[in-house]
Amino acid sequence: MPSFLLTAILIANMVFAGIIVFVERKRPLAALVWLMLLLFLPVVGFLLYLFFGQKLLTRRKFRLKQEDDLRLNQLIADQHRQLAWFQARSPEGDADYLGLARMNLIQASAPITLGNEVMFFIEGLDKFIQLCADIRQAQRFIHVEYFIWRDDFLGRHLVEELTAKAREGVEIRVIIDDWGCKLTPDSLFQPLKAAGGKVFRFLPITLKFVFNANYRNHRKIVVIDGSIGYIGGMNVGMEYLGQRPQHSPWRDTHLRIVGPAVASLEARFLMDYFYVSGEEVGLGERYLPSNVLRPGQVPIQIVASGPDSTEQHVKQGYIKMINSATESILIQTPYLVPDDSLLEAIKIAIFSGVDVKIMLPGIPDKKIVYNVTMSYAGELLEAGARIFLYNGFLHSKAIVVDSRYLSIGTANMDMRSFVLNFEVNAFIYDPKKACEYEVIFEQDLANSRELLRGEYYSRGLWRKFTESVCRLFAPVM
């Protein structure tokens, strides 16, 4: 490498070090990792920080998105009145999750909606059969947002279903994440566009916007006619139907919601749509009707978070749930890379006598992240948690507390979901639904094996070394 180029990189590294410490004010541990990379691997550290570490080139963009979101969010129903309704109908013993609901309302601007009906899907085939059936019944609009949309049989079939409705005059709007769909050609959506549908990529990674790579839209939302909504972990691809042999069986969780909470999903979609398209779709009766049916009895909050948020709303919701637990905590996550606050919250719950069960994949899809996951799993195992490894790939993101309330959505229990990704979760305050999902968890235990301390302690030296090295990079994952 020419000496002048190396000198330029070293100077840039010094500038980046100053930015890390004095401008971006990253978490101390994350800042330390980046500083070590810049110091000991000058060229590699320079490139990694430029593409995955810095926030200066996206800060203004996300601040503008946050301002637009706040402006559009003002048009959602009167939040404080909804809190009064929820408080009036909540038993005295539900004060703990009333506090969670209040926090989500005040901090995350998440309206509380009553009268919802919720259905769990744990099989991808069942979810997509129902989704296609709902799409065929659409009369006014269908809004779709996915992180991954494969160009495979399922991806093409869903495009065909949407194209057919577009030809009938139904409004179709689609958002896909550019990184998640990097191998998905635009030609896949050409029939839909030709029929009048609109398709946009979220934060496209081009030469001009190459620094977008680290910030991904991990949300999975479908809204049909403002009355039916979908949210959860399943993307569009054959692997979500269990058709990837190396990760089979694939276990995931998705929700179908009917009721007022769908308006919150719709508002979230329209905020993202305005950001990617510049088209400010009216938030009137057509898209956020006030006369939505209330077919059930389930209170729900839809909570979103992302790099455009000043706080980590979903993570704070998880911590609030864990801190309020007195009996049991059930967790399912494909990746376990908690920060210190979440890790300590789980440990404190364990030390307080709460029965903590954590279910992780038995088959990894990302080796480095899995090594970090197993390192944290071992630490929690030593603290007294029970760790279970699912016999396949577990992609479900769920937490149930005290058989009373739960959260399911797109956010993994890792720092990428909390800090870098755009995520959305449903917080469900209903003991019946909590117990229903506990039964599902128990069924999953039958297809899992418990990781015992003896097995964990007896793993080889190379594996221990690999886990320890990978964990050093946890703050920047």
- Known active-site residue 126: no
pLDDT at 20: 43
Alpha-carbon Rg for the chain, nearest whole angstrom, is 22
**Is residue 260 very low, low, confident or very high in pLDDT (cuts 50, 70, 90)?**
very high
- Known active-site residue 94: no
> CB under 8 Å to 209, separation ≥6 — which residues?
203
pLDDT at 4: 54
CA torsion through residues 292, 295, 299, 301, sign = negative
Per annotation, catalytic residue among 69, 339, 402, 430? 402
Q: What is the b/e burial string over 93-115, where b = at least 16 CB atoms within 10 angstroms of the residue's CB?
A: ebebbbebbebbbebbbbbbbbb
DSSP codes, 158-178: HHHHHHHHHHTT-EEEEEEET
When the pLDDT of each residue in the chain is averaged and rounded to a whole number, the result is 85
- Please check the confidence at residue 198 and state whether its pLDDT lies above 60: yes
pLDDT at 87: 60
- Known active-site residue 157: no
- Please check the confidence at residue 23 and state whether its pLDDT lies above 50: no
CA torsion through residues 352, 94, 360, 148, sign = negative
DSSP codes, 285-350: TTTS-S-----S-EEEEEEEE-TTSSS-HHHHHHHHHHHH-SSEEEEE-S-EE--HHHHHHHHHHH
Segment 367-394 shows an average pLDDT of: 96
Segment 404-426 shows an average pLDDT of: 96
CA torsion through residues 368, 369, 371, 372, sign = positive
Per annotation, catalytic residue among 127, 198, 313, 397? 397
Per annotation, catalytic residue among 225, 252, 308, 414? 225
Per annotation, catalytic residue among 143, 218, 254, 313? 218
Backbone angles phi, psi at 445, to 5 degrees: -60, -30
Backbone angles phi, psi at 16, to 5 degrees: -60, -40
pLDDT at 295: 82
CA torsion through residues 392, 393, 394, 396, sign = negative
Segment 339-363 shows an average pLDDT of: 97
pLDDT at 127: 98
Segment 254-281 shows an average pLDDT of: 92
Can you list the alpha helix ranges (DSSP code H) found in 123-233?
124-136, 153-167, 190-194
What share of the chain has pLDDT > 70, as a percent? Answer: 76
pLDDT at 294: 79
- Please check the confidence at residue 423 and state whether its pLDDT lies above 90: yes
**Helix, strand or coil, per DSSP, at residue 3:** helix
CA torsion through residues 412, 415, 421, 426, sign = positive
- Known active-site residue 151: no
Exposure of 59 by Cβ count < 10 A (0-12 exposed, 13-18 middle, 19+ buried)? middle
Q: Are 298 and 428 in contact (CB under 8 A)?
A: yes
Can you list the alpha helix ranges (DSSP code H) found in 361-415?
367-383, 415
- Please check the confidence at residue 29 and state whether its pLDDT lies above 70: no
Q: Are 358 and 386 in contact (CB under 8 A)?
A: yes
pLDDT at 283: 62
- Known active-site residue 313: no
Question: To the nearest 5 percent, what fractions of the chain are helix, strand and coil?
Answer: 50, 20, 30
Segment 32-61 shows an average pLDDT of: 54
- Please check the confidence at residue 210 and state whether its pLDDT lies above 70: no
- Range in 11-25, 163-177, 238-252, 388-402 with the lowest mean pLDDT: 11-25
pLDDT at 184: 98
**Is residue 474 very low, low, confident or very high in pLDDT (cuts 50, 70, 90)?**
confident
pLDDT at 78: 47
Alpha carbon of residue 404 to chain centroid: 22
Per annotation, catalytic residue among 198, 347, 357, 395? 395
Per annotation, catalytic residue among 65, 198, 220, 254? 220
For residue range 52-89, list pLDDT tens digits in order.
555 544 555 555 555 555 555 555 544 445 555 566 56
pTM of the full structure:
0.86
pLDDT at 205: 80
Q: How many residues does the chain have?
A: 477
- Please check the confidence at residue 379 and state whether its pLDDT lies above 90: yes
Backbone angles phi, psi at 209, to 5 degrees: -120, 40
- Known active-site residue 225: yes
